[in-house]
Amino acid sequence: MDYRRAFRAAAVGYVDLVSRVPAPRWDDPGLGDWTVRDLVGHTVSSALRQVPEVLSTPADEVVVRYAEGFWAFARQVPAEVHAAFTSASGADAHATGVALGDDPAGVVRELAGRATQALAAVGDDDVVSTPVGGMPVRAWLPTRTFELVVHGLDLAAAVGVPHGMSPEAVAEATSMAAHVAIAVGDGEPLLRALTGRGELPPKFSVV
């Protein structure tokens, strides 16, 4: 599975999805305390807008070598650090959602174009600076595909439209979720649940 193609497919799918959000639904509940606009704001901020910046910022060394390590990191930080990050993420989601203005689809399309253009300028093994430290491009970018797919499904569910994500992008996100589960020690219960041999606890999550 080509991580570059999966990201581009997810970006194209997300642009199309945003274009199909009914106009009256932008202030409706989106996810948790977020409105639909906040949810889209978070997604484009984390999965599209930051891509050119991260890809243009080299790191001196690899701190996290694999994509699942990015998500596992969040499970290891002190509770107060995680709480501060969550609060900052919520504020950024709202601010970015407001900045989408009256043409969210147009803004998202432009951001997706910038992200895919930036991706074309870097090598697979280039080491870039990410919020968890230096990571190879091939390891970090799939975490952005994961964001696009997971929050794409969130958005589609919130507004009642088909998500339209490609099977390749969904497959990469699903595979990453399984790898994260293994990395944080939840591989066995996940495998048993997926094969009909057990049930996951309520609100089970790998992130």
pLDDT tens per residue, range 34-77: 999 999 999 999 999 999 999 999 999 999 999 999 988 877 77
User: 154 forms bridges with which residues in the sheet?
Assistant: none
* Cβ atoms within 10 Å, residue 1: 10
Average pLDDT over residues 166-176: 95
Flag whether 202 is in a domain.
no
Tell me the pTM.
Answer: 0.93
The CATH number linked to 126 is 1.20.120
pLDDT at 199 over 70: yes
pLDDT tens per residue, range 4-33: 999 999 999 999 999 999 999 999 999 999
Q: In 160-186, which residue ranges form alpha helices assigned H by DSSP?
A: 167-183
Flag whether 121 is in a domain.
yes
What pLDDT score was predicted for residue 75?
75
Average pLDDT over residues 153-164: 97
Question: For residue 107, what are the domain limits?
Answer: 3-194
What is the rounded average pLDDT for all residues in the chain? 94
Flag whether 7 is in a domain.
yes
80 DSSP assignment:
H
Where is 74: in which H helix or E strand?
A: helix 67-76
What pLDDT score was predicted for residue 207?
85
148 half-sphere exposure, CB direction, 13 A CA radius: 36
What pLDDT score was predicted for residue 191?
96
Flag whether 207 is in a domain.
no
pLDDT tens per residue, range 80-134: 766 666 777 788 999 999 999 999 999 999 999 999 999 999 999 999 999 999 9
Instruction: Name the domain count of the chain.
Output: 1
What pLDDT score was predicted for residue 74?
77
Helix, strand, coil percentages, rounded to 5, for the chain: 65, 5, 30
Flag whether 21 is in a domain.
yes
Flag whether 204 is in a domain.
no
Flag whether 52 is in a domain.
yes
